[in-house]
Structure 1
């Protein structure tokens, strides 16, 4: 337990001494999870929701397109 507390303290000190720049923030946002929340939310719709399968399909397409488009441009953002 004490070892874990020391590790957390070390991490916090490191983060405070070297805060993220705006470039790092852009990369983190760009590389973050895409569509996970959208897909999870649409799957919670009740079975009787009108056109539920269409909504799930649209959510899947949005997640897929954001993965492909933003994933393929990530290397340009990092450079």
Structure 2
């Protein structure tokens, strides 16, 4: 009987600990909250270890902050494929 109770408590603790982790924010979220994305990127740079969700969150924040440095984003060059 004790083994059953211990097993149930162990499974419950595992579910509780894995379920409490915050889901990663999307790129769309960070596009609307650019300042928060910049802060997140700085926080991520200081971390030595991250969970999978933290890695995804950091990746999304970094993508949005670096998108502003890409000069081709949202632009097209109509002469790019023309031969002279």
How high is the TM-score relative to the length of structure 2? 0.28
Tell which has more relative contact order, 1 or 2 (C-alpha 8 A, sep 6+): 1
Higher helix share: 1
Greater Rg over alpha carbons, structure: 2
